[in-house]
Amino acid sequence: MRIARLICFLLLAVGLLCIPAQSRAQIAVGVSVRIGPPALPVYEQPVCPGPGFLWVPGYWSYGPDGYFWVPGTWVEPPEVGLLWTPGYWAWEDDAYLWHAGYWGPEVGFYGGINYGYGYTGVGFFGGSWRGREFFYNRAVTNVNVTVVRNTYNTTVVNNTTVNRVSFNGGPGGVSVRPTSREIEAEHQRHVTMTAEQTHHQQAASSNRTLLASVNHGRPDVAASPRPAQFESHGAVESRTPVNPNRPPSNVREPAASPNAAPVNPALEQKHQQQMDRLRQQQGQERQRVEQKHQQEQQKLQQHAADAGKQQDTQRRQQQQLQQLQQKHDQQQQKLQQKQQQERQRQEKPAKPPAPSKPHDEKPPAQ
């Protein structure tokens, strides 16, 4: 099965090379999947590295080993005046189809997906071009004003539902349709993602920690300051801030107490091994469930089941995957609580020995 999918990807790549770049950006890339992508992880946006960089939000892509996370990152646009329209997954023809992102003079339709940091689901509010200079909206963009001087501050009213749904249409998907202006934007001149973006996606596809089957929807690296810099100082992991559309204020790590117990390397290594084993078991369990779902879908196709039955099966499978994810989250949380209790027990200082009671002195012998 994996070899067959790989061959399909190679044939697709050859076919896309024969299509002009301008047209290629306007069509849905022929990657269809029977199981929907995981929810979007929530993360802090890395600080903008300098003037002229534009934010490209992270997204779930699909490869021979299933879904993998492509971290959000800052990139330089191919031309002055162009803006990025993110790609998105959509439920079409009884499958999830990927619509590729593109550069253009206006932000088009991206499925109503709330990617955050200016991408509220409709349009883009993270900044705008003024002549040949790009100005950043500090209300939703993480910039250092000592490095980037072209800024403004405009509050963004989010008219879309704030959630982590990563696909349009289908069971549980975002029910948003393109506006007339977004339809017009789709017919404007487009430029596909840059070579730097392509390298970024390829690097993510070869990083096993970014596979959904490994990270269960919570990638260790959710965003990076520059493309493919997954281990750099500015890379950030997924988390859950209060407002996923706005970067939280800079949080400083609390200073270590001078009386704090030193870290036990052996204990931390033991805890890491325990978590790795749990994640491996969870990945195997999820893989078994997904294989079962694929077999069910194949049987429905062989027996020419009607569309209603296929949709009911898809809805049930989505619910099963959501329940499985909740179960895995609870397992990880329980293990983390157990490990924290073990740390606290070890950090407790040993009780000092009780002072010995003074003995009555005997008078010296005469």
Q: Dump pLDDT digits (tens) for 86-95.
A: 999 999 988 9
Q: What is the pTM of this model?
A: 0.60
Q: What CA–CA distance (Å, rounded) separates 331 from 212?
A: 17
**DSSP 8-state class, residue 208:** G
Residues 115/38, Cβ–Cβ less than 8 Å: no
Q: What CA–CA distance (Å, rounded) separates 312 from 297?
A: 11
- Counting Cα atoms < 13 Å in the Cβ hemisphere of 125 gives 20
Q: Taking all residues of the chain, what is their mean pLDDT, rounded to a whole number?
A: 78
CB contact set of 61 (below 8 Å; sequence gap of 6+): 67, 68, 69, 70, 98, 201, 204, 205
Closest by CA position to 55, among listed 88, 87, 80, 83: 83
pLDDT score for 353: 59
And the tokens for 92? 């079409």
Domain locations in the chain?
Answer: 2-224
And the tokens for 182? 């977004």
User: How much is the average pLDDT of 139-166?
Assistant: 80
pLDDT score for 101: 97
Report the DSSP beta bridge partners of residue 75.
54
Sign for the pseudo-dihedral over CA of 150, 153, 158, 159 = negative
Taking 3-state DSSP, the helix, strand and coil percentages for the chain, each rounded to the nearest 5, stand at 35, 15, 50
User: How much is the average pLDDT of 297-302?
Assistant: 78
Q: Dump pLDDT digits (tens) for 29-84.
A: 457 788 999 999 989 999 999 999 999 999 999 999 999 999 999 999 999 999 99
User: How much is the average pLDDT of 335-351?
Assistant: 74
Sheet holding 133-137, edge to edge: 127-130, 133-137, 151-152
User: How much is the average pLDDT of 168-174?
Assistant: 89
Report the DSSP beta bridge partners of residue 340.
none
